[in-house]
Structure 1
Amino acid sequence: MLAARILLEAGAEGTRTEETMSYIASHYGLTENNSFVTNTVINFMLHNESYPRIYRIKERNTNLIKISKVNSVSRKLVRDELTLKEAFNLLEQIYIKTKDHPIWFKTIAGALIALSFLYLQDGLKIDIFTAFLAGALGICVTEIIKKRMAKQFIPEFFGGLTIALIVVTGHTYIPGGDLSTLLISSVMPIVPGVLITNAIQDLFGGHMMMFTTKASEALVTSFAIGAGVSSVLIFV
């Protein structure tokens, strides 16, 4: 259950989460285990005569480091390189000590992502500074609001709004570039790419509920970004 909690809260797909729980339980002879996970709930039963264990997932983020570490622990456990107690202690350390990246790190990463997409779309050199600043501040604003209020739509809306304001201002004072290319490149750091990818993986894995919820979440996030950008462009 702890492994599943870490995986789901770190943004893993439902297939991976269910297989990890089943993988560990089956190794210890509990082959009749049953699991069912969604974005917000884990249901797991060791065998037909046991009560189901249920855990509510309240926070979700993208942390591929946590997912990788949990996968490593489960494989070592199945290879008998770890005892159950050692594995549980390692999972607790992963859950408590593996923190999300700091905002300054995400800000720098957002700036580099924006520049990368500007390059991929054949953007002009004159737009480099604007894309760098918009990508950095856009993800910075989004992450700050997310930490203060765990709600959908609002952080991404203000992130898109910030990006559009910077891009339009930069395009006005440093003319000559392409506004559309600049906007697309700058919003890429806050686009829910991992969420969309995981939704498709859950679809292929037969997890229709996980696919529906993740696809809906990605749609709301994308709409929020579009609404934020459009709010500025309407008045331009």
Structure 2
Amino acid sequence: MLNKNEMIVDTVLLAGKIMIESGSDMTRVHDTMERIARSAGVVDPRIFETTTGIVMSIPTKKTAEVQPVLSRSIDLEKVARVNAISRAFANKELSLKETHENLQALTLAVPVFSFRSQLLAAIVVGCTLSIMYGGYWGDLGATALASGLGFTIYSKINRHFRFRFGSEFIAAFTIAVTALLCVRSGFGKSLDMIIIAGLMPLVPGVPITNAVRDLLAGHILSGIARGIEALLVAAALGTGVAVIFRYL
């Protein structure tokens, strides 16, 4: 059974872990964690967060704990829910125990879009951006095929294997091969535009944005780490396409 101070630290760290794992920027993470701690009666909470771990202590009680962050994805639904729970606690609508229980429940049960919905979204994004970038309407079929196959490969690999950056490389390779076959068979016209549009659902836009936000907010370690991670993803995507062009 946790005492009050241990419950405070555990609740704060759990909220921060969920937000970092779900792709939140560090400014929002720190603000939410500090809001929970101060609302629980901690006058001077000491919190240090990075993309791979969080440390919190209550100086007056000599209580401290470290929480590792082992995985990261993009799930803004969880970020919004943690933020809502923290504000409800700050407004005295939830007790500390209820807040902790709600956060634990959030880690186990949160609405997730089905694979079909995600696949449809990837296809729509690819086709829409193809037209926005000046592509041909006649290439929409090839773009939809490339986007769909690339996203499917990416999702299946990430679901069954821990193959970081490899999933992006294989997905980009698949998109480039599909685009090349479509153009050579007459099903598509612009090879470059089909590949670019097909890659867009896989581009790490949120990590890049968060990296810039973290750097501007003074979270140097997190900003650099996220920036390097985004660059590695972009490099994997580019390499997957470059392999095809190298042997054309």
| Mapping 1:23-172, distance limit 5 Å | 23-98=35-110, 100-172=112-184
SS at match of 1:151: coil
Task: Report 1:154-193 matches (<5 A).
Answer: 154-174=166-186, 177-193=189-205
The letter of the residue matching 1:225 is L
1:208 alignment partner, one of 179, 202, 220: 220
Moved over 3 A (4+): 99-102
Paired position in structure 1 for 2:20: 8
Amino acid in the other structure paired with 1:98: V
Name the SS of the counterpart of 2:157 in structure 1. Answer: helix
The offset of 1:37, in angstroms, is 1.1
SS state of the match for residue 36, structure 1?
strand
Q: C-alpha distance in 2, partners of 1:136/1:44?
A: 43
Compute the TM-score of the two structures, normalised by the length of structure 2.
0.91
Q: Unaligned stretches of 5+ in structure 2?
A: 1-12
Q: 2:206 aligns with which of 191, 194, 200?
A: 194
Q: What is the one-letter code of the residue matched to 2:40?
A: Y
Return the letter of the residue paired with 1:219: L
**Distance (Å, rounded) in 2 between the aligned partners of 1:41 and 1:169:** 45
Rounded Cα–Cα distance in structure 1 between residues aligned with 2:221 and 2:111: 29
> Is 1:22 the counterpart of 2:34 in the alignment?
yes
SS of alignment partner, residue 48 of structure 2? strand
1:45 to partner: Cα distance: 1.1
| Cα separation, partners in 2 of 1:235 and 1:62, compared to 1, 3 Å | same
Q: Is the contact between residue 25 and residue 46 of structure 1 (CA under 8 Å) also seen in structure 2?
A: no
Look up the equivalent residue of 2:51 and give its one-letter code.
Answer: N
TM-score normalised by length of structure 1: 0.95
- Alignment RMSD: 1.4
